[in-house]
A and B are shown apart, each in its own frame.
Chain A
Amino acid sequence: MSMTADVYDRRQDRRPWLKRLADASEPYLYSAPALILIIVVMLVPLVVGISYAFRDIQLLNPFSGGFIGLEHFETLSKDRAFYTALKNTLWWTGASVFLQFGFGLILALLLDKPFMGRGLVQALVFLPWAVPSFLAGLNWSWLFNPVIGPIPHWLFDLGLMSQPGNILSDPQYAMWGPIIANVWWGIPFFAITLLAALQSIPRDLYEAASIDGASWFQRFWSITLPFLAPTIAITVLLRTVWISNFADLIVVMTGGGPADRTQIVASYIFTQAFKALDFGYASAIALVLLVLLLAYSMLIILLRQTLLNKG
């Protein structure tokens, strides 16, 4: 009671000060519910997850769970498998994004022209995107399997293979299996977004350019690309982050094998967490991946900013 009285008194004599405080805090109070919700939903799990990286958490060891500082990171810095995975991640992400983007752009350019049955083709093209990634992985591993799938036999007939074998078990080419599956699966994403961007380019610009004497390629270079650039930047950024985190196809198709040749960081995390059941170490790897991807995103955003400022 005395406190309320005190507050009341203060308010009596120092009203402008309190009022100022109330006014200043008003926007925070209004946004508090949303902010609290965001913090609880987004930040808390993140912090908890990050904290695992500094603790010894092994599912099969009931005495684990203690704080061990940077020990995981020391182990990680000497872990050859991790460096292989890092290299594989670069290869996997680079090849997948590049091919998805390339084919997606070609497909978008083709679909941008009117032709008979375009509606149907558009619907069909976007189908792979609707296939669950695990199903896609299973499907493609069967296609690559010489016992039940046709692809090895085709490659053999074309003389690209000395005998119809399974490339998924060939250490030299195994990575191409998940990459091809990933490209098949991810082309629609690029095709859809790039097609939408293409269709927003005013047609009369192309007409003006062709009257100005520009060939198809010159029009593509001086009109299409500049208009697509922002979309390309943002989709490539998103896909890069997403694909380097995307372990589904690899886990389903090769499990990281043969001999870790297809092990990427994301699938390595999966292996550590659910095969070795070492959650602490898996979290440490995940944290490193997070930092690398953040750095990459920053770089791209900076690059885009400078490009925009220049243009």
Chain B
Amino acid sequence: MTQQIELSGVNKYYGAYHALRDINLSIPKGAFVALVGPSGCGKSTLLRSLAGLETISSGDLVIAGERMNDMPPRKRDLAMVFQSYALYPHMTVEQNLTYSLRIKGVKKAEAKKAAEEVAAITGLSDLLHRYPRELSGGQRQRVAMSRAIIRHPKAFLFDEPLSNLDAALRVHMRKEIRALHDRLGATSVYVTHDQVEAMTMADHVVIMRAGVIEQQGRPLDLYDRPANRFVAGFIGSPAMNFIPARTSDDGTSLILDLPGAPVLAMDLDLPPGHAVSVGIRPEHLSLATADMPGFNVPVAAIESTGAATFVTTETTPEIVLVLNGRSTVSAGETIHLTFEPKNIHVFDAGSDQRIEVGTVLTQAKTAS
């Protein structure tokens, strides 16, 4: 597969501040890549470096086979949708759409026709003669999208394009953007801090923290096999539970650091006597009768959305579990939790890196 965008060993400094650290990323033609991470991790910096709005300090940036490190933005043939939309306020919607074409010297009638075609796709046909100030937030967003689409660029860059919309419209636009991407056969890089957006829209998710790519891969791979504790905690909502634990002296079971020190005798293959952190997603915990393997915890709070019930336990650290539908559990009660052993993740307590768990042979037994 041809690589549309390739970054190798890219670093970016703002003065002494190291904003991007050794970024390596290959984006095949036609891919939809999401960059996610907490605020200030360098997502926008990376995207702007692709666009040429920031110059990278070292490394190589190749777009469609051409080294672009020192190419000014106007020669990179990329389109960008800004979080603020950055529509030209003194131009009508049509003029906004055709600006890039007019600069290229496309004939007036031709540009107008292109604008009408794109407007028909994005549902702006009736608004072509309005000014941006006369549009709603969602309509402005569409104008920003259309302005990018009209150019048939080498790639689309999106910087949190949906963050100014309300929740319902955001979910709707998510699907629309993805459908548009497929329809145009485009290559897209999509920045968001919303991991749900990233997981649902992208073929390839890149998780960043403090200027470093922590992990990248297919959305469900990141969910199933997070490379470290940060990624594990970042992907999934509500976030994964982390329980401090120790491996037994023979390395076959885990001793949780909870009241009563429950032992998960799971026939594991772990470094013996090692401090670890056990990760279990809230949706992978379930209630069980006391005779089933698991551990007992007191309940601190119950929250219900109707479709699901969130139970928070009275432990340090607290454990959250999600139950389908309604539940009769109430605060103060002690519940017995259980889980599938294949669903646990083990991380080194010092380095926070994932420790591969050997084949799990039997279900957990408890000593508490």
A→B interface (CB under 8 Å):
202, 204-205, 207-215, 218, 222-223, 226-227, 311
A207 to B76, CA, bound (A): 13
- Of A205, A218, A226, which is in contact with the most chain B CB atoms at under 10 Å from its CB? A205
Is the beta-carbon distance between A202 and B90 smaller than 8 angstroms? no
Choice from B74, B79, B104, B147 contacting A210 with Cβ under 8 Å: B74
Contact of A212 among B52, B53, B103 (CB under 8 A): B103
Contacting pair A205 B73 (CB below 8 A): no
How far is B72's CA from A207's CA once the two chains are assembled, in angstroms?
11
**Are B90 and A212 in contact (CB-based, < 8 A)?**
no
CB distance from B96 to the nearest CB of A (A): 9
Assess whether A226 is in contact with B90, with CB atoms less than 8 Å apart: yes
A211 to B151, CA, bound (A): 11
B205, chain A: closest CB distance, angstroms: 24
> Does B104 lie within 8 Å of A208, measured CB to CB?
no
CA–CA, A311 to B79, complex, Å?
27
A207-B53, A222-B99 are known contacts. Are A212 and B84 too (CB-CB below 8 A)? no
Q: Told that A213-B74, A214-B74 touch, could you supply 12 new A-B pairs with CB distance under 8 A?
A: A202-B84, A204-B82, A204-B84, A207-B51, A209-B88, A210-B73, A210-B74, A211-B76, A212-B100, A212-B103, A222-B88, A223-B88
B73 to chain A, nearest CB (A): 4
Residues of B within 8 A of A205 (CB): 86, 88-89
Interface residues on B, range: 20 to 34
Q: For chain B residues 69-94, which have a beta carbon within 8 Å of chain A?
A: 72-76, 78-80, 82, 84, 86-90
The distance in angstroms between the C-alpha atoms of A208 and B79, with both chains bound, is 9
**8 A Cβ contacts from B103-141 to A:** 103-104
B86 CB contacts on chain A under 8 angstroms: 202, 204-205, 207-208
In the complex the two chains form, what is the Cα distance from A205 to B80 in whole Å?
12
Give the complex CA separation of A214 and B96 in angstroms: 13
A226 surroundings in chain B (CB, below 8 A): 90
User: What is the chain A residue whose CB lies nearest that of B78?
Assistant: A211
Contact A211 B99 (CB under 8 A): no
Partner of A211, one of B79, B89, B90: B79
Cross-chain contact A209 with B99 (CB below 8 angstroms)? yes
Q: How far is the CB of B77 from chain A (nearest CB, A)?
A: 8
Between A202, A213, A214, the greatest number of chain B beta carbons within 10 A of the residue's beta carbon is seen for: A213
Q: Which residues of A contact B74 (CB under 8 A)?
A: 210-215
B180 to chain A, nearest CB (A): 19
Contact call A212/B99, Cβ cutoff below 8 A: yes
**B88 and A207: CB pair below 8 A?**
no
Contact A211 B51, beta carbon cutoff 8 Å: yes
Residues of A near B73 (CB, < 8 A) are: 207, 210-211
Q: How far is the CA of A210 from the CA of B88 in the complex (A)?
A: 12
| A218 adjacent to B103 (CB under 8 Å) | yes
Write out the residue numbers on chain A whose beta carbons fall within 8 Å of the beta carbon of B75.
Answer: 213
CB-nearest residue of chain B relative to A229? B90
CB of B100 within 8 A of CB of A213, answer: yes
| Closest 8 pairs (CB-CB, A-B) | A212-B100, A208-B86, A204-B86, A210-B73, A213-B74, A226-B90, A213-B103, A211-B73
B81 nearest CB neighbor, chain A only: A208
Establish whether residues A211 and B80, one from each chain, have CB atoms under 8 Å apart when the complex forms. yes
Smallest distance from the beta carbon of A116 to chain B beta carbons, Å? 13
Q: Nearest residue in B to A210 (C-beta to C-beta)?
A: B73
Most chain B Cβ neighbours within 10 Å, of A202, A208, A218:
A208
Residues of A within 8 A of B76 (CB): 211
Residues of B within 8 A of A208 (CB): 80, 82, 86-88
In the complex, chain A residues whose CB is within 8 Å of the CB of B151: 212
Residues of chain A within 8 A of B80, CB atoms compared = 207-208, 211
**B90–A311 touching, CB < 8 Å:** yes
Q: Nearest chain A CB to B45's CB is how many angstroms away?
A: 13
* CB-defined contacts of B84 to chain A, threshold 8 Å: 202, 204
